[in-house]
């Protein structure tokens, strides 16, 4: 049974609304997934995320393998119970993090050998073991091991990485039917979804070929990897558009690691459904708030006597209760509450943006909404 249902397509663009069914609930798309790399969205509690109406969180298998370790999460009764999160979870394989290790890893057709960035211990991950680990985690959506390349890279290298990604995708799909060693019997692993990941760098023919082969293999959804790794934005948009054109309409489309509001709007317009990024909380910890008028560096001196909220159009807890002046004071005093308040606001801003996007699509006014948003929103850094 197809887990994704296309609900509505905007009449003036390729933007669309859908519902992705998972074991822990339905997800309304387009959606943004707050990133809890190690099972925690930095500075925020699961209760705060639920109150902000986050539909799904993203965690990283690579990081969870290293710390606290798969066995501990298994003993806890899978990841949802371990982190006290009742809604869906997507677990990334950690392929991007592994390939970012450069000198600390060795790639072969069988898998990846790497050294822990924590203590130097050696690990060897294969496309089969990464699925086995995610079965034990009990995540709702699993991502296969893939080889991500940086920009720029030669076409030969991109083609080799794409072929390896496809081979690993086939292995991952085959592993779905196999039982987990020493399986835990709560049944969640029987309902897990598996997405394929499109690679191929900035080479249009490689991306199209990879997408078509993944569709032939058959997955519950399709992710676009290797975007926003240093290439110009115009090139990112073009490649994403070409990939989407080669993905089925009746499957969820997930653009990995892309998270500036203007980039999300561009991708929604060409038919992308799912997004994740560390940007909201990373910027929050650095004292930068996302607002309806653009990014606001709260640490800056002009806000020392500014008693307005971070964003007058926002109804989050931070904006309803605290001023820019107070939050700046907290940040300059190294008070943890300051980081929390800006991070919470940023997550709420992103989730509210997605709600407004879904509503605009429903009313066939996404193009107008995007234009109005960007006219007010200053994209300058």
Domain assignment present for 128: yes
CA distance 203 to 223: 17
Residues assigned a catalytic role: 92, 276
CA distance 296 to 299: 9
**Residues 53-90 pLDDT 10s:** 999 999 999 999 999 999 999 999 999 999 999 999 99
Q: Are residues 127 and 216 located together in one domain of the fold? A: yes
**Residues 139-169 pLDDT 10s:** 999 999 999 998 999 999 999 999 999 999 9
Q: Are residues 87 and 135 located together in one domain of the fold? A: yes
For the chain, the residue count is 381
User: Residue 7: in which H helix or E strand, if any?
Assistant: strand 4-9
| Helix 233-245 and helix 261-269, axial crossing angle in degrees, nearest 10 | 30
For the chain, the domain total comes to 2
Residues of the domain holding 37:
4-277
Q: Are residues 289 and 344 located together in one domain of the fold? A: yes
Q: Are residues 300 and 329 located together in one domain of the fold? A: yes
Domain assignment present for 65: yes
Nearest to 121 by CA among 60, 59, 65: 65
Q: Are 380 and 361 in contact (CB under 8 A)?
A: no
Q: Are residues 250 and 318 located together in one domain of the fold? A: no
Q: What is the pTM of this model?
A: 0.96
Q: Are residues 353 and 220 located together in one domain of the fold? A: no
Q: Are residues 255 and 341 located together in one domain of the fold? A: no
Task: Say whether pLDDT at 266 is over 50.
Answer: yes
Looking at 254, 277, 300, the residue that finishes a domain is 277
Domain assignment present for 306: yes
Q: Are residues 82 and 143 located together in one domain of the fold? A: yes
Domain assignment present for 376: no
């Amino acid at each position: 049974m197809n887990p994704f249902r296309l609900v509505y397509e905007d009449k003036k663009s390729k933007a669309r609304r859908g519902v992705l069914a998972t074991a822990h609930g339905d997800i309304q798309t387009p959606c943004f997934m707050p990133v809890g790399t190690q099972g925690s969205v930095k500075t925020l509690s699961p209760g705060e995320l639920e109150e902000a109406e986050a539909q799904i969180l993203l965690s990283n298998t690579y990081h969870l393998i290293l710390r606290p370790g798969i066995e501990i999460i298994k003993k806890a009764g899978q990841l949802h119970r371990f982190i006290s999160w009742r809604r869906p979870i997507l677990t990334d394989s950690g392929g991007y993090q592994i390939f970012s290790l450069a000198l600390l890893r060795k790639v072969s057709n069988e898998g990846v050998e790497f050294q822990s960035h924590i203590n130097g211990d050696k690990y060897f991950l294969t496309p089969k073991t990464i699925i086995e680990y995610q079965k034990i985690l009990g995540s709702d959506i699993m991502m296969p091991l893939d080889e991500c390349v940086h920009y720029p890279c030669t076409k030969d290298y991109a083609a080799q990485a794409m072929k390896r990604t496809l081979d690993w995708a086939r292995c991952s799909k085959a592993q779905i039917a196999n039982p987990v060693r020493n399986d835990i019997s709560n049944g969640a692993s029987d309902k897990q979804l598996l997405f394929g990941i499109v690679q191929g760098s900035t080479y249009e023919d490689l991306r199209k070929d990879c997408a078509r082969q993944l569709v032939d293999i058959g997955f519950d959804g399709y992710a676009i990897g290797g975007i926003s790794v240093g290439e110009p934005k115009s090139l990112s948009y073009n490649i994403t558009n070409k990939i989407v054109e080669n993905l089925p309409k009746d499957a969820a489309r997930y653009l990995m690691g892309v998270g500036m509001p203007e980039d999300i709007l561009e991708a929604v317009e060409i038919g992308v459904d799912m997004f994740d990024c560390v940007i909201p909380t990373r910027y929050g910890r650095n004292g930068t708030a996302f607002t309806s008028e653009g990014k606001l560096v709260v640490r800056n001196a002009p806000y020392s006597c500014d008693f307005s909220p971070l964003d007058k159009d926002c109804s989050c807890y931070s904006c309803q209760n605290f001023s820019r002046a107070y939050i700046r004071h907290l940040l300059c005093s190294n008070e943890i509450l300051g980081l929390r308040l800006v991070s919470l606001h940023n997550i709420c801003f992103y989730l509210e943006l997605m709600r407004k996007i879904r509503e605009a699509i429903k009313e066939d006014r996404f193009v107008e909404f995007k234009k109005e948003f960007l006219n007010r929103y200053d994209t300058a850094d």
